[in-house]
Amino acid sequence: MNRRTWIASALALGAVAISLPLRALAAVWNKAAFEAEHVDQALKGLGVAQSGLSRDILLTAPDMAENGAIVQIEVESRIPGTEAIAILVEKNPTPLIANFIFSNGADPYVVTRIKMAETSELKAIVKAGGQYYTVTKKVEVALGGCG
């Protein structure tokens, strides 16, 4: 292979490497659910028809958040066969914050930091065995954090 053909093939490879994740991303990201402006629409986008309250979801968040731009939350599901955990903030402009999907020995457990526009119910929805389970917690927000 001479230098010119090597460069051409390297460029072609690069184009494939860049375009693949983009196409995959467009297929994966749940646009309807994430762009929904109401919890009901977001849940519909996630495919949640109904969810039962569960004591086996541990949702830890502050009762009172000084700064809505950074609210640390922890969610752990003790429901056997948990496949996914979604996090929603009812009063945010777009309520769906995140959807975590677990596989191959990952614990149904996450800690992350989220934005809250105002005092609101925080909701975790767990998917397990084709069923949905939920828990909510109210978080008071002193200074809203959704710019």
Task: Provide the sign of the torsion angle of the four alpha carbons 63, 57, 85, 135, taken in this order.
Answer: negative
Q: Considering the rule CB under 8 A, would residue 97 count as an interface residue with other proteins?
A: yes
Distance of closest approach, residue 135 Cβ to other proteins, in angstroms: 18
Candidates 39, 57, 59, 89: give the one binding other proteins (CB under 8 A).
89
Asked whether position 80 contacts other proteins by CB under 8 A, the answer is no
Looking at residue 27, what DSSP letter applies?
Answer: H
Determine contact, residues 123/134, Cβ cutoff 8 Å. Answer: yes
Q: How far, in Å, are 48, 113, 117 from residue 125 at the CA level?
A: 9, 17, 20
| DSSP 8-state secondary structure symbol assigned to residue 39 | H
Binding mask 32-61 for other proteins (x = CB under 8 A): --xx--------------------------
Which residues make Cβ contacts (< 8 Å) with residue 25, sequence separation at least 6? none
Binder of other proteins out of 114, 125, 128, 139 (CB under 8 A) = 114
Gap between the Cα atoms of 35 and 19, Å rounded: 24
| Among positions 37, 58, 81, 112, the unique one binding other proteins when judged by CB under 8 A | 112
Question: Binding residue for other proteins (CB under 8 A) from 43, 59, 61, 96?
Answer: 96
Among 13, 111, 142, 143, binds other proteins (CB under 8 A): 111
Rule CB under 8 A: say whether 93 interacts with other proteins.
Answer: yes
Rounded to 5 degrees, φ, ψ at 134 are: -140, 160
Distance set, CA 101 to CA 86, 91, 143, 147 (Å): 9, 24, 31, 27
By beta-carbon proximity to other proteins, the closer residue of 7 and 24 is 24
Footprint of other proteins (CB under 8 A): 18, 21-22, 25, 28-30, 34-35, 69-72, 89, 92-107, 109-115, 145-147
